[in-house]
Amino acid sequence: MSTSASSSRRTSREMAAPLLAGLAIAAAAYGGRYSIQAWQAFKARPSVPRMRKFYDGGFQTTMTRREAALILGIRERTPVDKVKEAHRRVMVANHPDAGGSHYLASKINEAKDLMLGKTKGGSSAF
Task: Please indicate, yes or no, if residue 53 is contained in any of the structural domains.
Answer: no
Instruction: Provide the residue range defining the domain that includes 84.
Output: 65-116
Task: Please indicate, yes or no, if residue 28 is contained in any of the structural domains.
Answer: yes
Asked if residue 8 has pLDDT above 60, the reply is no
**pLDDT bracket for residue 108 (50, 70, 90):** very high
- The string of pLDDT tens digits covering residues 38-86 is 999 998 988 776 666 666 677 888 889 999 999 999 999 999 999 999 9
Residue 69 and residue 36 share a domain: no
Task: Please indicate, yes or no, if residue 111 is contained in any of the structural domains.
Answer: yes
Task: Please indicate, yes or no, if residue 98 is contained in any of the structural domains.
Answer: yes
CATH code, domain with 88: 1.10.287.110
Mean per-residue pLDDT, 93-117:
91
Residue 70 and residue 109 share a domain: yes
**For the purposes of burial, counting CB atoms within 10 Å of the CB of 90, is it exposed (0-12), middle (13-18) or buried (19 or more)?**
buried
The residue type found at 40 is Q
CA distances from 59 to 63, 90, 107, 114, 122 (A): 8, 16, 9, 14, 11
Task: Please indicate, yes or no, if residue 79 is contained in any of the structural domains.
Answer: yes
Residue 36 and residue 69 share a domain: no
Q: What is the pLDDT of residue 48?
A: 72
Residue 69 and residue 37 share a domain: no
Residue 74 and residue 32 share a domain: no
Domain count for the chain:
2
Task: Please indicate, yes or no, if residue 82 is contained in any of the structural domains.
Answer: yes
CA–CA separation, 78 and 80 (whole Å) = 7
Task: Please indicate, yes or no, if residue 22 is contained in any of the structural domains.
Answer: yes
**Cβ pair 62, 123 in contact under 8 A:** no
